[in-house]
Amino acid sequence: MLRRTLIIAALLASTTGCTTLKGWFGDDKNKASDPAELVEIASPIAVNKAWSRKLGDENARLGLRQRPAIEGDRLYVSNDEGRVLAISATNGDVLWDSEVAPTRKEGSRLFFWRRKSIDGGLSGGPGVGNGMVVAGGRNGEVVALDAETGAERWRAKVTSEVIAAPLVTPDRIIVRSNDGRTFGLDPADGTRKWVFDRGIPALSVRGNGAPVSDGQLAYLGYDDGTVVALRINDGLVAWTQLVAESEGRNDLDRMADVDGELALGFSELFATSFAGQTMAISTQNGRPLWNRDTGGYSGLALLGDRVVLSDTAGTVWALDRNTGSALWRQEALARRWLTTPAIHGNYLVVGDLDGYVHWLRSDDGVIVGRNRAGKAPIRGTPQVTPTGTLIVLDAEGRLSAYPSPAQ
């Protein structure tokens, strides 16, 4: 089956009421589809960039949503040049830089792909845990490195491109490939212990959400609008829940991808779909607790009594965690291709297509701060370190850090 993937730039034009892509490229006849102009903030909070570092990567053409992995005071990033780096969250210094060149076998000789070749590159972003950093590539290769030194521990191969960060647990390394399969690898040597194959629709959004885990189960969102809970040890299905129906007259209308971050609570899981549905699900049995007719291609986050997300139109929502009812919505960032919100102190933070980072008050959604990290789009969800520093990675590999704003 021929599988097609679309990047968000094209998809959003078709989901916000416009019938062509012209408005996204400056056509004066279709200003209604242009990204909303940014309005000056009357009394902005002070948001200052602590440091910034260009990693020399250019992932803009890939349409990926890579993000850094954080453990303690270290950031771990991978890029399309085949490199994995450990970086100090305090000052941006590079602690180690490992070149991980994907390999192929041709006859009896071993060849190395160059970093910029179409076949090479680390496309999935890293996962970190238990002293390891694990990253996947566009050729399906998975590489595990020592988190302290960057030395290679092992490498393995899955059946397709890896565009989601692997989940690192004590018992298994869980890796998604872009052909619908999920693999459970042995942390010691990368050998395959199980594989789960769900299949994929003919057309989907370019992206896969990273698995999340409560220690017993791994939860994954799929391109057909479902969330699946797998047992970590053996990969058996604990439950499956449909978040959004795949309905419509054509492949584009039927897209229902659950591609953004899943948010895991104490006994519930929250998921959102490109088809415009958000659902709270019981982790015990997979039954829906509530469903809301709003959703998006990015994921969601939890903040106290609420769930926060950005929908496909660029509206930021806060939903009641227990009922799904809307607490507030912010529409001033319409059509700006917003990231999943991050929680930064008492604020929500989203990145946009022009490299701007926006701070919203969590209690009412008012935009109170803004800073431009760079000129490239921000696709990956901003991350927050244990000490409260916000980390933003844009599509051209610029890493920026922001301390917590004054309350």
How many structural domains are present in the chain?
Answer: 1
* Residue 239 domain flag: yes
Mean pLDDT of 343-367: 96
Q: What is the pLDDT of residues 175-186, one digit of tens each?
A: 999 888 999 999
Query: Tens of pLDDT along 165-177?
Result: 999 999 999 999 9
Q: Above 60 in pLDDT, residue 300?
A: yes
Residue 225 backbone dihedrals phi, psi, to 5 degrees: 90, 15
Read off the tokens for 147: 């988190």
Specify if 407 maps to a domain.
no
pLDDT for 22 beyond 70: no
Residue 287's domain comprises: 4-402
Structure tokens at 387: 């000490």
Instruction: Inform me whether the pLDDT recorded for 65 exceeds 80.
Output: no
> Would you say 386 and 72 are in contact if contact means Cβ atoms under 8 Å apart?
yes
As a whole-number percent, the residues of the chain with pLDDT over 70 amount to 79
E-strand stretches of 158-299: 167-168, 173-176, 181-185, 192-197, 203-205, 212-213, 217-221, 226-231, 237-242, 263-264, 268-273, 277-282, 288-292
134 vs 10: CA distance, rounded Å: 31
Q: Which whole-number Å values give the CA distances from 310 to 25, 235, 324, 348, 353, in the listed order? A: 22, 31, 15, 11, 13
Residue linked to tokens 């709270």: 280
Give one word for 116, left, alpha or beta, with left for phi > 0 and alpha for psi -120 to 50.
alpha
The burial class, CB within 10 Å (0-12 / 13-18 / 19+), for 296 is buried
For CA atoms 372, 376, 377, 378, the dihedral sign is negative
Q: Is there a domain that residue 174 lies in?
A: yes
Q: Is 75 part of a structural domain of the chain?
A: yes
Q: What is the pLDDT of residues 239-255, one digit of tens each?
A: 999 997 766 565 555 56
**What number of other Cβ atoms are within 10 A of residue 119's Cβ?**
11
pLDDT for residue 295 is more than 80: yes
Element (H, E) at 10: helix 8-15
The yes-or-no verdict on residue 10 having pLDDT over 50 is no
Angle at 336 between CA 41 and CA 365, to 5 degrees: 45
**Range with the lowest mean pLDDT among 22-36, 138-152, 177-191, 307-321?**
22-36
Residue 145 structure tokens: 């490195």
pLDDT at 1: 39
Is pLDDT of 289 > 90? yes
Residue 239: is it exposed, middle or buried by C-beta count within 10 angstroms (0-12/13-18/19+)? Answer: middle
For tokens 């994907």, name the residue.
Answer: 102
CATH number at residue 365: 2.130.10.10
Which pTM value belongs to this model? Answer: 0.85
Closest-CA residue to 103 (of 160, 141, 57, 138): 141
- Tell me the three state secondary structure of residue 35: coil
Residue 20 lies in a domain: yes
pLDDT of residue 12: 43
Strand ranges inside 234-283, DSSP E: 237-242, 263-264, 268-273, 277-282
Q: DSSP string of 289-303?
A: EEEES---SS-EEEE
Q: What is the pLDDT of residue 201?
A: 54
Specify if 84 maps to a domain: yes
Is 143 inside a domain boundary?
A: yes
> pLDDT at residue 105 above 80?
no
The answer to whether residues 251 and 203 touch, using CB atoms and an 8 Å cutoff, is yes
Lowest-pLDDT range, 17-21, 82-86, 229-233, 272-276?
Answer: 17-21
Q: Is residue 335 part of a domain?
A: yes
